[in-house]
Amino acid sequence: MTETASRKIELVCPAGGLPSLKAAVDNGADCVYFGFKDATNARNFTGLNFDLDQIREGIAYARQHGRKVLVALNTYPLKANQKSWTAAIDHAAELGVDAAIMADPALMAYAARVHPALRLHLSVQGSATSHEAINFYHERFGIQRAVLPRVLSLAQIEQLAANTQVEIEVFGFGGLCVMVEGRCALSAYATGQSPNCQGACSPDAFVRWEQTPRGMETRLNGILIDRYADGERASYPTLCKGRFAVRDETYYAIEEPASLNALEMLPALAGAGISAIKIEGRQRNPAYVGQVTKVWRAALDALARNAENFAAQDAWMTELNKVSEGQSYTLGAYYRPWK
């Protein structure tokens, strides 16, 4: 068996609530990540996330099946509300989570000082795109894993992983962010609320759907994001994925809606030295979580059995396409043949 095949790559799956957590565990996730019901996590939407009792139940369920639980504390507090974030770190440590996924250096310093046994992962919101940055967080705060922003090519990931002892986690499937995560100001520009501080890109309080004679219109704080013909699927309105009139042409001017799907690149990602594959989608329903987890579990098991002859099966791709944004997928920044 090759080194690539023998190295275990963890499958890290999203949970916006208990049903999704159980769907992830039941379908083969190695780790499940979730957030508290407040702005301390970057998916702070109505109806999502966990209170303390739900977290206890979720941890118990995961433990019964031998799985890990990670809590996302990956937004940046303001001076006036920093105590909410430090309290969340205290809760995470007391609950016995396997790791806290964090972005803010001051919060990492607090966690390292007050809860030295709490394992820390650097969130994608930390925007670390070089081994120098990752090694800085390791040396200063003891982070054990870094989640890479979705802007790096495969060659860049390989070079980065070769120059750090920190575990590397990359996104394998789910919605894409056109910006370097943690640095986007589009939603804050439109609504006055930053996803990096208040935890929600396009907060639901500012979102409107309206049927008009010209079609279904979606708006964010009054800004027209898109207009859909009858029968056309209407997406959640985010500025980066809207259709806009530019020089007499209307099109996706910033980014077309499509899901990242790196399934066919699993051998190459494993060869680059990654430790974990992350599935995006805490805002998605339990059926999505279960379906995507099941496919990726099968793929990772196939890779472990026979890495040299691994191929993405048509049935896997068909299942993933059913839940892809815009029902299409891309390899994103991973595939840059000119690099």
Q: In what helix (H) or strand (E) does residue 291 lie, and over which residues does it extend? A: helix 286-305
Question: What pLDDT does 337 receive?
Answer: 60
Question: What pLDDT does 286 receive?
Answer: 97
Beta-sheet strands, E only, within the chain: 10-14, 31-34, 68-73, 99-102, 120-122, 145-147, 167-175, 207-212, 215-220, 223-228, 243-246, 249-252, 259-261, 276-279, 329-330
Question: What pLDDT does 238 receive?
Answer: 87
265-322: pLDDT as tens digits: 999 999 999 999 999 999 999 999 999 999 999 999 999 999 999 999 999 999 999 9
Structural contact between residues 34 and 21, judged by C-beta atoms closer than 8 angstroms = yes
Kindly list the structural domains of the chain, giving each domain's residue range(s) and its CATH number in brackets, ordered by start: 3-176+258-334 (3.20.20.70), 186-252 (no CATH)
Question: What pLDDT does 236 receive?
Answer: 85
Structural contact between residues 274 and 169, judged by C-beta atoms closer than 8 angstroms = yes
Question: What pLDDT does 327 receive?
Answer: 64
Smallest CA-to-CA distance from 151 within 260, 258, 227 is with 260
Residues in the chain predicted with pLDDT less than 70, given as ranges, are: 1-7, 178-180, 326-327, 336-339
Residue 68 CA neighbour count, 13 Å, CB half: 13
* Whole-angstrom distance, CA of residue 42 vs CA of residue 39: 7
| pTM score, whole prediction | 0.91
Question: What pLDDT does 7 receive?
Answer: 60
Sign of the C-alpha dihedral, residues 254, 257, 261, 265? negative
